[in-house]
Amino acid sequence: MPMKRINLNLDEELLSSLDAYAKKMHISRSAACAFILSTYFDGRTSMEVLSDISRVLASRSPSDAGV
> CA dist 33 to 19, 48, 50, Å?
10, 23, 26
User: What's the pTM?
Assistant: 0.66
Mean pLDDT of 58-63: 77
Residue 66: pLDDT band by 50, 70, 90 thresholds? low
Residue 33: pLDDT band by 50, 70, 90 thresholds? very high
**Percentage of the chain lying above the pLDDT 70 cut:** 91
Residue 67 CA to residue 60 CA, distance in Å, equals 11
Average pLDDT, the chain: 88
